[in-house]
Chain A
Amino acid sequence: MEPQTSQTITVTVNGETYEREVEARRLLIHFIRDDLDLTGSHVGCDTGNCGACSVIYNGQLVKSCMLLAVQADGARIETVEGLAPEDGKLHALQQSFSDHHALQCGYCTPGMLMSAKALLDANPSASEEEIRKGLQGNICRCTGYWNIIDAVKAVAR
């Protein structure tokens, strides 16, 4: 294998497999949003601080602006678009976010939901402190986090 400026990758996102040619320099978030047209994940910073681009990558929460798309060759990725079950209902976290008014503008929400899901997948009965710690990598500028923490806590019970 020799270095290349672009390559063809195969990625499974929300159960669907995509094969695309992508430049090596393209960040995973741009690949997801611009190449795959899955625009639920967002970009809120350019330094890996905000977490709006958080996705679950091979079972682990990551910021998709902190990986190259080519690194994801062969990866399984879950984004907010795959969160709700197919029967038209919302995922418990999505419903709880709405019930607790845990979102206003909604821009951080997809990343926040993925962080909450990763947390509860690993620790279904997370405490308030664990929830805060689990959401530390996601910036919300609307809510002050209080309602988000309450929303996750309600599902954690």
Chain B
Amino acid sequence: MTETLSPAQPLVVEEGEEQRGFAGTNVPRKEDKRLVQGQGVYFDDVKRHGMGYAHFVRSPYAHANITSIDVSKAEALEGVYGTLIGEEVAALTDPFFQLATPPGAHIKDYALAVGKVRHVGEPVAIVVAATRELARDAADLVEVDYEPLGAVTDARRALDPETPVLHEEAGSNLSWEGVYEWGDVEGAFAEADHVVKISELHFDRFNSTPLECDGAVVEYNRGTGQWTIHTNNQFPGFAAIMMGPAMRTGLDKLRFVTQDIGGGFGNKITSHPQLVACCLLARKLHRPINWTEWRTEFHLTMSHGNERWFLDTEVAVKADGTLLGFRTKALDDAGAFLRYEPLGGVIWAQVTPGCYRWRNVRLDFTQVVTNKAPCSPNRGYSRMQHLWFTERMIDIVAHELGLDPVEVRKKNYVKAEEMPYTTPNGCVYDSGDYARMLDVALELIGYEGLAERRADAESRGKLFGFGIGSTLDSGTNNFGQSRLINPELQFSGNNEVATVKLDIFGEIVVTLGTTPQGQSHETTAAIVVADILGVTPDDVNVRAGHDTYWNSHAGFSGTYASQFAVTGLGAVKGAAEKLAGEIKKLGSVILGCPESELELADGFVRMKANAEAALPLMACGAIINANNAGLPEDLDVTLNARYVYRPPFELPDVERKYGNLTLTYAAQVHAALVEVDPETGVYEIVQYAAIDDCGKRIHPQIVEGQVMGATAHALGAATHETFTYDAEGNLLTPNFYDYHVPHAMDMPPLKTGYIESPSPFTALGTKGMGEGGGAGIHAVCAALQDALAPRGRPVVYDSCNPYHRVWELLQDPEASRRRVEVISK
């Protein structure tokens, strides 16, 4: 049901380079053997003697003062080990560090609500008991008195004078604002033949809902004051710097351990408040604590994707369809707390002009807090919203000016020959050929035969539509971009670490700093190591998971933001090369020849000229580890190589908000065909094509898996997945009944295609990838707009279009058309 199209040769092959080894081949995935047998170890599979189960007491109100909490009845229940409430948390910890400048900086955020709740589901207290069921029984006995306050759930009302304020200490519901302007925006509009105005577009709130929810098993060692946190948090480096200062403890006292994680998609970055609460309980109750988050709790409280409005947009266009610039006001709804925010206020800038040569851009960014679950990264974090917006501008401009969306794209895409391309804000698109990708997409979707398909659909009473989404997956953050939202922040660059060692019996052992959630790091790391050490991936043991006590952990360690293929594999490559160098150094002593005459192949270090003169790697491991008498004193060889990869970044210019914010730019072009039932608004995606370019592919099958997964997320987000709140702040989609994710029967026929434009900036020519789902959200929006055009040319203005919204567009196309105005000279 899926077809793959790949060019026989990569687009760019460096001169004289010959493909060799396992890179680029689909070796069996190392993770699979345990996972298909149910032998994975996820946090909830970890059990400890005397472990207590935590259950959270949560706010039923969107906004209320807490007037009292009484845990006495809960604590009196037999089998209950103890409780924790906000007052204790406020006494034992400091508020979490805020990334924002004032006013957001004034927000006080603790592990549990202190004095006030600000969204439905916010944790108010925790009960720990001998069984899961008992813990919930006891949680039901905790008596909390609330004094309800008015709620705000519409970001557009958040700053109105009469709107209730969530965080009084911040003065208003404004959390962060900034103005971004590059190029000559006024000049662009003066030069334009047409100005297309779009009053309001809305990127909906959703997240990619990993199947495993958050959780942890936390142990406290009273003797050493050290916590061991078995958790599925996907960015322990970030969790640690949030948790340590709040808990008034050194970071080495926080040992993060992970084996398998049941999906993350960014949503598991910000579990630090809950982890702090578990740490406090483990210490208070002298027992290991299991915290298992259930689905409804996840939906109510965790990591919603940023909801964003684009207001008063104006696009400057020449008569021939050349795009000169745009200006807009982005209004971002962060939810009740800033757990990773306001980084969303700058992350979008990695892809400021999208795939296009827009040189003149102004974006006024305002972020507000509302009485909804806190936002945090979600696959495509902050760029997806902006890229959807850039794509929406393209199609609306094309439709309003009577231009072909394919031609407008081709005319305005950054061109292959312009790579590396510097954007108006100083980001550098490393490589790519977007027009070529679009051609592949058109071929796979059957563009030549669209007229017949349209006629066929119409003969069956259906409206037929074709749409494109073209996006970028910017990977490997320059954390210096955080200074664009807060110049005081002392973050910049990035890093990741790996160790590769050769043990006494010749075993090659790799440890990673990353926390994979299905991205196959064990497999791809083994390929890279095998190719460098001259062995097979089967010979390489990559330890499953992450443990900060393995000493393979750097400040930015984790798995997020499309970077493993660059930072993770860069570290693996560095460590493996370091080890290879040491093996040769030892080989040169033992074999009595210069290192330059040696090679690593077939499990040996041997003379290039004489394969008989060889030392097995096992012997190397044995000599260094257990048989080293008589080796030269100055032989600096441990066969235990640690390497920290540090991408080449400069500090961005804070004043101009200018600089290279990410290292690589994978690209996606997706195309969708839809058929709409005009009577009901029900529609079906009848064909889909996804083209990806992530540079050199270490393991094409794994890359394709990421493309498919991101596509599925996109299709879910485009059709049904929404976190919708009522005016009182109740989440209307708190479970998988009402929050409909795609099932097997919902998936359209898919064709995938690839081109490879190796990154000139990375060690392996790879680019981070996996977050290309935004393309699909737009492809569906564009296809719907095309399909509905014969019925009054409605404008698709929302990223999520469930059937009811499509029906509304059909019923009253004028209502949506009032959002758009064209002023021509």
Contact = CB atoms under 8 A, between A and B. Distances in A.
Interface of A: 23, 25-26, 30, 33-34, 37-47, 49-50, 52, 79-81, 83-84, 90, 94-95, 97-99, 101, 103-110, 113, 128, 131-133, 135-150, 153
Nearest to A145: B744
A145 B713 CA distance: 11
Nearest to A135: B744
B555 interface: no
Given A46-B735, A49-B736, 7 more contacts: A80-B36, A95-B36, A103-B35, A106-B35, A107-B40, A109-B36, A145-B747
Contacts of A26: 133
A126 to B, nearest CB: 12
Given A45-B295, A140-B211, A149-B744, A98 B32 contact: yes
B708 A143 contact: yes
Given A83-B37, A101-B701, A104-B709, A47 B295 contact: yes
Interface string B256-276: 000011111100000000000
B222 interface: no
Contacts of B704: 101
B263 A39 contact: no
Contacts of B629: none
A99 B36 CA distance: 11
Interface string B112-147: 000000000000000000001100000000000000
Nearest to A37: B47
B735 A143 contact: no
Contact of A105 (B262, B713, B715): B262
Interface in B59-106: none
Question: Which of B211, B701, B711 has the largest number of chain A CB atoms within 10 A?
Answer: B211
Given A40-B39, A98-B36, A108-B211, A142 B741 contact: no
Nearest to A115: B744
Contact of B31 (A34, A95, A106, A141): A106
B736 A104 contact: no
A94 B744 CA distance: 19
Given A97-B32, A101-B701, A136 B211 contact: no
B212 A136 contact: no
A120 to B, nearest CB: 15
B745 A40 contact: no
Main secondary structure of the interface of B (DSSP, over half): loop
Contacts of A150: 1-2
A26 B133 CA distance: 8
Interface of A is mostly: loop
A144 B35 CA distance: 18
Name the 8 nearest CB pairs between A and B, nearest first: A40-B38, A107-B262, A106-B35, A104-B518, A144-B712, A105-B518, A49-B736, A80-B38
Interface in B732-770: 735-737, 741-745, 747, 750
Contacts of B261: 105
B211 A79 contact: no
B712 A145 contact: yes
Contacts of B32: 97-98, 103, 106
B279 to A, nearest CB: 23
Interface string B701-745: 110110011011101000000000000000000011100011111
Nearest to B36: A94
23 contacts: A40-B39, A44-B212, A44-B262, A46-B735, A47-B296, A49-B736, A50-B736, A79-B38, A80-B36, A95-B36, A98-B29, A98-B36, A101-B26, A101-B704, A105-B212, A105-B518, A109-B35, A141-B712, A141-B741, A142-B263, A142-B518, A146-B2, A146-B708
Contacts of A80: 36-38
B557 interface: no
Given A42-B42, A142-B518, A105 B210 contact: yes
Contacts of A46: 294-296, 735
Contacts of B747: 132, 144-146, 149
